[in-house]
Structure 1
Amino acid sequence: MTAKKIILTLTLNPAMDRSRSVAVLTPNDKLNCGDEFLQAGGGGLNVSRVIHELGGSSSAFYTSGGPTGQMLERLLNQIGIDHQPLPVKGWTRECFVVLEKFTQQEYRFDCPGPSLEEKEWLSILDRCLDRISPTAIVVASGSLPPEVPSTFYSDLNKLVIKKGAELILDCSGLALKEALKSKVFLIKPNLHELRELMGDPLETDEQQENAVKSLIKDNRCGAVVLSRGAAGAFVSTKNESYSLNSPNVPFVSAVGAGDSMVAGIAYKLQKGAGFLEAATFGVATGARAVAKQHRDILDLSVVESLASRCKVTRVP
């Protein structure tokens, strides 16, 4: 009997996400805001929350500091997610989303987060590693805080490999480039991140697909799910490549769509699904996230319906 897979998410730079709306954004004026919506955010925490909404389970490891960190912990307790905060000296950051009702445009303000001391980021790494077994799917997602070396995810991947587990990595820039020096199980870049990684504008679908295939051919990762926004995704492993067309959905907000895609992939892999099924479900989860308000809960049956409407095309 195959042991049940577990999901561990790691968030070094979590955030208290605050969302409000205004009628019109105008400079210098005092603007009346709508009711505030608070959410525990940051890559891995978003992934854990969506997995929970889908009916799955995960354990979330993250840093927590100051009053904002305490508020983050209370929100996670209310949701009912298994979470493992690591106290740090700096205050957990806050990020802001402002919806301008007149244009229905969102403005996103992303703050850098506190600097972490070496003993702090080493401590969360050690605590997470204590829970990693060969049945673990580790999801590392989000930016690295100031003072954390760009090799952090690379070091994590090497340790995950030693444990016989699998790492799903969703990051960008130098941290991604360093991580790919040791073969990562699965990465989920968007187009901007892939272009940055390859140092190439990759203007055509063929160029994008060849870039993805080259990452696998060069043994830098085992699988890639390239997010193409409304167009869906291009997914590839050593043995197969597919174009996944996302079903048409009304656009409400792009906030959290990428993390939702990762959550959908991890959720299905935990259930024992193959790569294509997991990637298709991830595209559907991301599509559902785009079509809902921040405070709405993802519904598994809706995501499954969207997954059945994804068009799958094999690419040579």
Structure 2
Amino acid sequence: MATTFRIVTLTLSPALDLATGIPRLCPNDKLRCSTPVYAPGGGGINVARAIHRLGGEAFALFPAGGSTGQHLVERLNAEGVANRVVPIAEWTRECINVTNQSDGQQYRFVMPGARLAPAEQEALLAALAAIPAPDYLVISGSLPEGLAADFLPRLLQGAVRNGVRCVVDSTGPALRQALDVGGVFLIKPNLEELSALAGVAIAGPEQLAQLARGLVEAGCCQGVLVSLGPQGALLVTDSLIERIPAPTVPRRSTVGAGDSLVAAVTLKLAAGAGWLEAARYGVAAGTAAIMTEGSELCRVEETERLFGWLQGAPAP
């Protein structure tokens, strides 16, 4: 890859997302669906797409296989997002987002990610090593079954050693492995993920801040941004504990809200912004994403408007 990108995203379990709607949800009947809308999906891919929507550039690396993988790549290319695909034998998964039009509730059917053979895992690591070292590497999304136990530690250790700022948005073993490696730049757990990581029920904001600060002080990461859904987010660094409220907006879909948040935070940080400004921009983008239908991500106009409000402008 000749071009050097400041932001590279890695998605280990990409998906072809299908969004549709039904008049009402009921058992046994044939549920007549609206025309399906397809979009490339998976954590890192959505982060790269959202960065592109916000006027930035990112390079997406991911495995893909079968006709679903081909369709995903075609959709991503149509959006103009730079990418590299590592071919795999198994078909890329397809995930389905169904909106019940009678009450606006959304149902998300998430299939297991395609398994990566050992040779395919090594090909991914080689592909990442061949990319000129970016300023930021975003590792986002779930891990596929059968991934080697040392895959993520090897990847992170190499990136940190080369001075790359790693942003990790994942759950369970992936998040634990990232923190065990140490030196990660930013993690973005939600409340449940942080609670599971700590092995305790989080009773309130003071305990939440204490747990996040403990990770920073232990050298596991430089920043923790805990997404709190409609309540916004909590940013914790070595010098900050800041609650960022989420603007109240019409809610249409939660798909891609977390990915939009990570995209906006990373984009602002890469542009030289400080922690608080970047986190506010992230909350603005995550909020903007829930205003869109189906699998659509944040829109730049809404993101900028909401960011202005968070920065102290008149209410949106």
TM-score, normalized by length of structure 1? 0.94
- Whether the aligned pair in 2 keeps the contact of 1:235 and 1:279 (CA below 8 Å) is yes
Deviation, 1:154, is: 2.5
- Whether the aligned pair in 1 keeps the contact of 2:97 and 2:295 (CA below 8 Å) is no
Structure 2 CA distance, aligned partners of 1:175 and 1:303? Answer: 29
Deviation, 1:296, is: 5.1
Q: Residue in 2 aligned with 1:22?
A: 22
Consecutive aligned runs of 4 or more in structure 1 exceeding 2 Å deviation: 149-155, 294-302
Could you tell me which runs of 5 or more consecutive residues in structure 1 were left unpaired when the two chains were aligned.
none
- Whether the aligned pair in 1 keeps the contact of 2:264 and 2:282 (CA below 8 Å) is yes
Q: Residue in 2 aligned with 1:221?
A: 221
Q: Secondary structure at the match of 2:158?
A: helix
Q: Secondary structure at the match of 1:28?
A: coil
Structure 1 CA distance, aligned partners of 2:54 and 2:294? Answer: 16
1:56-100, Cα deviation, whole Å (9 max, x unpaired): 001100001011011011101111110101100000000011111
Range 145-154 or range 158-167, more displaced: 145-154
1:186 aligned partner, one-letter code: L
Range 179-188 or range 150-159, more displaced: 150-159
2:59 aligned partner, one-letter code: S
Structure 2 CA distance, aligned partners of 1:5 and 1:35? Answer: 36
2:260 aligned partner, one-letter code: S
- Whether the aligned pair in 1 keeps the contact of 2:168 and 2:188 (CA below 8 Å) is yes
Q: Residue in 2 aligned with 1:147?
A: 146
Q: Residue in 2 aligned with 1:279?
A: 279
Could you tell me which runs of 5 or more consecutive residues in structure 2 were left unpaired when the two chains were aligned.
none
- Whether the aligned pair in 2 keeps the contact of 1:132 and 1:163 (CA below 8 Å) is no
Q: Residue in 2 aligned with 1:112?
A: 112
Q: Secondary structure at the match of 1:158?
A: helix
Structure 1 CA distance, aligned partners of 2:147 and 2:92? Answer: 15
Deviation, 1:203, is: 2.3
Deviation, 1:300, is: 2.2
2:301 aligned partner, one-letter code: S
Residues 311 and 210 of structure 1: CA distance in aligned 2, closer, same or farther (over 3 Å): farther
- Whether the aligned pair in 2 keeps the contact of 1:17 and 1:96 (CA below 8 Å) is yes
- Whether the aligned pair in 2 keeps the contact of 1:16 and 1:41 (CA below 8 Å) is yes
1:25-72, Cα deviation, whole Å (9 max, x unpaired): 111111111010100000000001111111100110000101101101
Structure 1 CA distance, aligned partners of 2:227 and 2:121? Answer: 29
Q: Secondary structure at the match of 1:309?
A: helix
Deviation, 1:258, is: 0.5
1:148-201, Cα deviation, whole Å (9 max, x unpaired): 034433222111111111100000101111110122110000111111101111
Q: Residue in 2 aligned with 1:8?
A: 8
1:86 aligned partner, one-letter code: V
- Whether the aligned pair in 1 keeps the contact of 2:264 and 2:278 (CA below 8 Å) is yes
Deviation, 1:235, is: 0.3
Q: Residue in 1 aligned with 2:170?
A: 171
Structure 1 CA distance, aligned partners of 2:260 and 2:122? Answer: 27
Deviation, 1:295, is: 6.0
Residues 150 and 246 of structure 1: CA distance in aligned 2, closer, same or farther (over 3 Å): farther
Range 119-128 or range 50-59, more displaced: 119-128
- Whether the aligned pair in 2 keeps the contact of 1:151 and 1:179 (CA below 8 Å) is no
1:177 aligned partner, one-letter code: R
Q: Residue in 2 aligned with 1:80?
A: 80
Structure-to-structure mapping, 1:129-144, within 5 angstroms: 129-133=129-133, 135-144=134-143
- Whether the aligned pair in 1 keeps the contact of 2:255 and 2:295 (CA below 8 Å) is no
1:265-304, Cα deviation, whole Å (9 max, x unpaired): 1111121111111111001100000111136563323212
Q: Secondary structure at the match of 2:180?
A: coil
Structure 1 CA distance, aligned partners of 2:296 and 2:120? Answer: 34
- Whether the aligned pair in 2 keeps the contact of 1:5 and 1:270 (CA below 8 Å) is no
Q: Secondary structure at the match of 1:57?
A: coil
